[in-house]
A and B are shown apart, each in its own frame.
Chain A
Amino acid sequence: MAARGCCPSCGSAALVEDAHYAQQQLVCAACGCVLAEGLLTTTYTEEEHLREVTYSQSTGQKEQLSRCLQRGIRRVRDICKVLQLPTVFEETAVSYFQRALQHTSFHLVSLEKKELLGGCCVFVTCRQHNWPLTMGTICSLLYAKQELFASVYLSLQKELGLSVPALSLADLVKTHLNSFRLFQHAADIPAPFVEDKEKMVARTMQIVELAGETWLVTGRHPVPIVTAAAFLSWQSLQPAARLTCTFARFCKLAGVDLPPPAHLRLKELLEILLRMASKLAWLRVFNMDKKTVVKHIGDLLQHRIFLLKNAFCLEDEEEQCATALSEGSPSSPPAAGGAAQEKGHPLEGKRQREGSPRPLLPPCLINPRKRLRTAALSASDSAITGDEPISDSEIEQYLRGPEEVRAFRKAKAWQ
């Protein structure tokens, strides 16, 4: 076949395809310089079509991997592509997956679990690079039950000894709001409901930070908090038009799910904001309620550091005052010098009005659920040695008499 190009050493155009033993070569007819050598191929058909056979195929690298592993790796790559993750993530996830499958605890699990394992590896990779991927997203991609995913994830973390950093809420806000449909005009969205994305993201982040500082985030699922914060920030950016819109309607318009805890998070956020509002000088004259406070969220966020300090007494002050009351010791160091006055009398505080500072504590400590506290070992219990004699009568109370056995047998016969 006609060769093309010029020889790089002599410039001659007379290039011929020649075979050196069995190897194809492109040789210059004038000077004999070898321009290109043929590729090693494994199959005659490949050679005929003059197609390159890749290294992994020719060296049987793929054949060394079990079909299960190959399938799993392919799945991991697919998930990464769907999530549009950088290629670095793909490689890391695949390597985790290969490592994991070698472990005995994952080698023999069901196919369903192996598929989840692939998803877990992607999830871990994302979290290690601070890519805000939630478990909910991965589970929906894998059509997996969250409990099963959770167990595979925890065992993966343990077996491979991976340290997975916590989910960054700030990044989660950005990604979660990306899926909201309120940033562009659409037929089903009333004009005053459309919002500027940057403004909404910024304000939602501030509200989420506020929630973090006031103990609403620790221990709770992050997505409902972000959803509630998004709702509040959206309402506050144009309160006149949006105050009448309910949370459920907002989520429907935005095209996102309304997770059930979000209502509670909203309530808690509003309570915090109301307390802060009671400390803002120009708002004290108004009787704030859940609806009206939304109008002033901008101001509250702007002054949040000052307001938080005044609306809530900090927890270390609480503890100080508890020990101070019980011991009356002057040498226990006060946490904040100025606040030393207040902490001795949290209840009969200076602020006798409605907005008297409550301690800044997680909601589970402020509204403790009435739980039956298991009593500590009583005196008689703690004196047990384990070797006490066991009376016959005590044991006999647990045994059935012969008539009872007969009656029971008869009753059971019906089953």
Chain B
Amino acid sequence: SEDYSLLQYDDLSSSPQLFTPMSPYGVDLPIQTTEDVLFGSQFNQPKELPTDFSVDLSFLPDITQDNKEQNLSEYGHETQKELDGSISRNEDSSVFMDESSLSYLDATQPSPEASGMCPPMTPMTPMTPVTPASESSGIVPQLQNIVSTVNLACKLDLKNIALRARNAEYNPKRFAAVIMRIREPRTTALIFSSGKIVCTGAKSEEQSRLAARKYARVVQKLGFPAKFLDFKIQNMVGSCDVRFPIRLEGLVLTHPQFSSYEPELFPGLIYRMVKPRIVLLIFVSGKVVLTGAKERSEIYEAFENIYPILKAFKKAS
């Protein structure tokens, strides 16, 4: 079985470290390593601290060493906050952190190391270069839209579908597909006569998959032999707010190869990041839109890459 004592986190010297050393890690910490639950819980602060720490971890997926390192190096600071919330009960109340501030921690906070309760942790070798937690933003981009496609592998009679489905609209003169909507998850689908579906509007990958399955079911119930092949997430859009105004004209001067800022055309700066290959729309208000991702991690990585650049700008102005 996995040795969870290896679940250390890099460079958290400036973040409050609240765990008691090395004691049965696996038992003490309700670690949720599946990404979506991790981030879902960011927005879902439990009202009370969980007092029961005996957790059955057998549900955790098999994590290979690579996966683990990557997950932890990238999301180490996120899980850190999870731990903070749950462990602080064991510590002095002076280091207790308010639940609501967990999501937006500015990581340049003083650490309670002063109180002398943090043991040195063995750092793991990260797969990707880790930004020290003192610079990590503490802001998590929120996914706004997921676009996915799936192949039903059968030809469809769009007129028939539009006739027999309540939630469908079909105007062949304008567009050669049926536009269908479902309420839960609230999404829209474009259904083509070739049997391919484009599903948009979901807020998470799982929602998108569930929605696509529901559309496939509708088509099935209408009498077509629909399958569910090659489901693929094509694009993910996220957004967040850095909470300070940004001098776009300065940013385009320091990063001309990546930035395109044309106030005559569009009020935001278009930043084409190379690694990961994400397009960011940066606005003067500090709001950032990230798009072009095939995976959630790309959005988070892109934001962590841009945040220090934006922050440097803020001080310079």
Residues of A with Cβ closer than 8 Å to B? 134-136, 150, 153-154, 157, 163-167, 212, 215, 217-223, 315-316, 319, 323, 326-327, 329, 331-332, 361-362, 364-365, 374, 376-379, 381-388, 390, 392, 394-400, 405, 408-409, 412
Alpha-carbon distance between A134 and B263 when the two chains are bound, in angstroms: 11
* Selected contact of A222 from candidates B164, B243, B264, B268, CB within 8 Å: B264
* Contact call A361/B264, Cβ cutoff below 8 A: no
* Contact call B40/A405, Cβ cutoff below 8 A: no
| B251 CB to nearest chain A CB (Å) | 10
* Contact call A365/B206, Cβ cutoff below 8 A: no
Alpha-carbon distance between A50 and B275 when the two chains are bound, in angstroms: 64
Alpha-carbon distance between A414 and B37 when the two chains are bound, in angstroms: 52
List 10 other contacts, CB 8 Å, given A220-B263, A374-B142: A135-B264, A135-B265, A163-B257, A329-B110, A379-B44, A382-B43, A384-B206, A387-B210, A395-B217, A395-B221
Q: Provided the pairs A135-B265, A219-B263, A379-B44 are in contact, do residues A362 and B245 lie with their beta carbons within 8 angstroms?
A: yes
- Taking CB atoms, residues of chain B closer than 8 Å to A326 are 101
- Taking CB atoms, residues of chain B closer than 8 Å to A395 are 214, 217-218, 221
29 A-B interface contacts by CB (under 8 A): A135-B264, A153-B262, A154-B260, A165-B253, A166-B261, A167-B263, A212-B249, A218-B245, A219-B283, A315-B317, A319-B243, A326-B101, A329-B110, A365-B245, A377-B44, A378-B43, A381-B207, A382-B36, A382-B37, A383-B40, A386-B207, A386-B208, A392-B221, A394-B184, A396-B221, A398-B166, A398-B218, A399-B218, A400-B164
Interface residue B163 (Cβ < 8 Å from any Cβ of A): yes
- Taking CB atoms, residues of chain B closer than 8 Å to A136 are 264
- Taking CB atoms, residues of chain A closer than 8 Å to B41 are 382
| B158 CB to nearest chain A CB (Å) | 14
* Contact call A215/B110, Cβ cutoff below 8 A: no
* Selected contact of A219 from candidates B142, B143, B182, B267, CB within 8 Å: B267
* Contact call A316/B315, Cβ cutoff below 8 A: yes
Q: Provided the pairs A376-B142, A383-B37 are in contact, do residues A390 and B213 lie with their beta carbons within 8 angstroms?
A: yes
* Contact call B144/A374, Cβ cutoff below 8 A: yes
Q: Provided the pairs A219-B283, A398-B166 are in contact, do residues A377 and B209 lie with their beta carbons within 8 angstroms?
A: no
| A297 CB to nearest chain B CB (Å) | 24
- Taking CB atoms, residues of chain B closer than 8 Å to A387 are 209-210
- Taking CB atoms, residues of chain A closer than 8 Å to B207 are 381, 384, 386
Alpha-carbon distance between A165 and B142 when the two chains are bound, in angstroms: 32
Q: Nearest CB to that of B283 among chain A residues? A: A219
Alpha-carbon distance between A326 and B208 when the two chains are bound, in angstroms: 37
| B230 CB to nearest chain A CB (Å) | 15
| Per-residue A-contact encoding for B128-161, CB less than 8 Å = 1, 0 else | 0000000000000011100000000000000000
- Taking CB atoms, residues of chain B closer than 8 Å to A377 are 40, 43-44, 143, 203-204
* Contact call A408/B144, Cβ cutoff below 8 A: no
Residue among A134, A163, A386, A412 with the highest chain B CB neighbour number at 10 A = A386
Alpha-carbon distance between A87 and B122 when the two chains are bound, in angstroms: 65
* Contact call A399/B221, Cβ cutoff below 8 A: yes
Interface residue B106 (Cβ < 8 Å from any Cβ of A): yes
Interface residue B118 (Cβ < 8 Å from any Cβ of A): no
- Taking CB atoms, residues of chain B closer than 8 Å to A385 are 206
Q: What 5 pairs between A and B have smallest CB-CB spacing?
A: A382-B40, A386-B209, A386-B206, A376-B43, A219-B267
* Contact call B221/A409, Cβ cutoff below 8 A: no
- Taking CB atoms, residues of chain B closer than 8 Å to A383 are 37, 40
Residue among A376, A384, A395, A400 with the highest chain B CB neighbour number at 10 A = A384
Residue among A134, A376, A382, A385 with the highest chain B CB neighbour number at 10 A = A382
- Taking CB atoms, residues of chain B closer than 8 Å to A384 are 185, 204, 206-207, 210
* Contact call B284/A399, Cβ cutoff below 8 A: no
* Contact call B209/A361, Cβ cutoff below 8 A: no
Interface residue B124 (Cβ < 8 Å from any Cβ of A): no
Alpha-carbon distance between A377 and B44 when the two chains are bound, in angstroms: 8
* Contact call A394/B110, Cβ cutoff below 8 A: no
* Contact call B284/A218, Cβ cutoff below 8 A: yes
Residue among B101, B165, B208, B262 with the highest chain A CB neighbour number at 10 A = B262
Interface residue B89 (Cβ < 8 Å from any Cβ of A): no
* Contact call A382/B204, Cβ cutoff below 8 A: yes
* Contact call A399/B314, Cβ cutoff below 8 A: no
Interface residue B109 (Cβ < 8 Å from any Cβ of A): yes
* Contact call B164/A315, Cβ cutoff below 8 A: no
Alpha-carbon distance between A397 and B218 when the two chains are bound, in angstroms: 10
| B283 CB to nearest chain A CB (Å) | 7
* Selected contact of B284 from candidates A165, A222, A327, A362, CB within 8 Å: A362
* Contact call A386/B205, Cβ cutoff below 8 A: yes
* Contact call A398/B182, Cβ cutoff below 8 A: yes
Interface residue B252 (Cβ < 8 Å from any Cβ of A): yes
| B273 CB to nearest chain A CB (Å) | 14
Alpha-carbon distance between A136 and B263 when the two chains are bound, in angstroms: 12
| B284 CB to nearest chain A CB (Å) | 4
| B294 CB to nearest chain A CB (Å) | 16
Interface residue B5 (Cβ < 8 Å from any Cβ of A): no
| Per-residue A-contact encoding for B197-240, CB less than 8 Å = 1, 0 else | 00000011111111001100110011000000000000000000
Q: Nearest CB to that of A127 among chain B residues? A: B262
Interface residue B179 (Cβ < 8 Å from any Cβ of A): no
Interface residue B285 (Cβ < 8 Å from any Cβ of A): yes
* Contact call A134/B166, Cβ cutoff below 8 A: no
* Contact call B106/A323, Cβ cutoff below 8 A: yes
Q: Nearest CB to that of B206 among chain A residues? A: A386
Interface residue B125 (Cβ < 8 Å from any Cβ of A): no
* Contact call A378/B206, Cβ cutoff below 8 A: no
- Taking CB atoms, residues of chain B closer than 8 Å to A218 are 245-249, 263, 284
Interface residue B53 (Cβ < 8 Å from any Cβ of A): no
Q: Nearest CB to that of B44 among chain A residues? A: A379
- Taking CB atoms, residues of chain A closer than 8 Å to B108 are 332
Q: Nearest CB to that of A404 among chain B residues? A: B166
Interface residue B119 (Cβ < 8 Å from any Cβ of A): no
Interface residue B256 (Cβ < 8 Å from any Cβ of A): yes
* Contact call A329/B263, Cβ cutoff below 8 A: no
- Taking CB atoms, residues of chain B closer than 8 Å to A379 are 40, 44
Q: Nearest CB to that of A392 among chain B residues? A: B221
| B312 CB to nearest chain A CB (Å) | 12
Alpha-carbon distance between A219 and B282 when the two chains are bound, in angstroms: 10
